[in-house]
Amino acid sequence: MQAADAAGGRAGEQHEAATWRDVVAAYVGLTKPRVIELLLLTTVPVMFFAARGVPDLLTVVATVVGGTFSAGSASVFNCVYDRDIDEQMRRTRRRALPRHIVSPRAALVFGAVLAVASTAVLWGFVNGLSAALSLGANAFYVFVYTMVLKRRTTQNIVWGGLAGCFPALIGWTAVTGSLAWTPVVLFLVVFFWTPPHTWALALRYREDYAGVDVPMLPVVAPAAEVGRQVVLYTWATVATSLLLWPVAGTGLLYPVVAVVLGAVFLVEAHKMWGRARRSDELSEIQPMRLFHLSNLYLSLLFVAVAVDPLLFIG
């Protein structure tokens, strides 16, 4: 109890020393804006594709606002639960909770407010199905990935990554009010893309994860095995991306872009695997090359999803 009081005192002292700009930046940081950007990137293009053109502007704005609140809420809850390990990892020790700029209780309230606001916006201005999918993704990320999978299995990011696939479904249902095979294909693209993307980053920070006993694949398996798994999932990603052409009846723009991007993604994945088989040193493996390329791959692929119906070169 005395230790807790002392910790609370330190938190209060550091909070008082922080400026209002620091506090605002800390709350924004809790929502992990870069993750939100990526999730919105897989939401809005699907809305264009579902509308086969430019969707209703109010629907887009409401979906973006509701999706931002939902993803931000999930990230806040994740930061609260993981604050013990975040304080020990180089990549995360500068977050708001490890620095005691925001208290865990205040963060929980903030996360709950965002969750309620997200559901209200999506339910009131979009539709009930989109609101339910968003709330379900939020709950899955917090209760299944963060609280159950992350610290217990090497498959944490494979199944936990399902939460990050839901924006494709939400973007589609926001426009159509129903589900179909097209958003399911895009859901699977993100599902297969997540392990190579995340394992590349985890390979870079494997010592951090090992230090806090989080069994990410690069912690428990040799780099060569990680590279092999990355290659398998990258092939699955590219193959699934090409399914959109026959399933959704796209124009020629999308499959051409998917083939070119897929080839580049595969080449880099194979190169990383080759480097990992020759050496276990991070300076030799260069996993961040694949990490950054994977971001570019998904971004440009979904841009093609949005642009294709506007051009429809078929």
8-178: which CATH architecture?
A: Orthogonal Bundle (1.10)
- Give the model confidence (pLDDT) of 150-201 as tens digits: 999 999 999 998 999 999 999 999 999 999 999 999 999 999 999 999 999 9
Looking at every residue in the chain, the average pLDDT score rounds to 92
Task: Please state the domain extents for the chain.
Answer: 8-178, 180-314
In the chain, the N- to C-terminal Cα span, in Å, equals 69
CA separation for the pair 78, 109 (Å, rounded): 13
* Whole-Å CA distances, 199 to 192, 268, 272: 12, 14, 12
What pTM did the predictor assign? Answer: 0.91
* The predicted structure's pLDDT at residue 312: 67
Q: Which amino acid is present at 77?
A: F
- Give the model confidence (pLDDT) of 271-298 as tens digits: 999 999 999 999 999 999 999 999 999 9
* The predicted structure's pLDDT at residue 247: 96
- Give the model confidence (pLDDT) of 90-115 as tens digits: 888 888 898 889 999 999 999 999 99
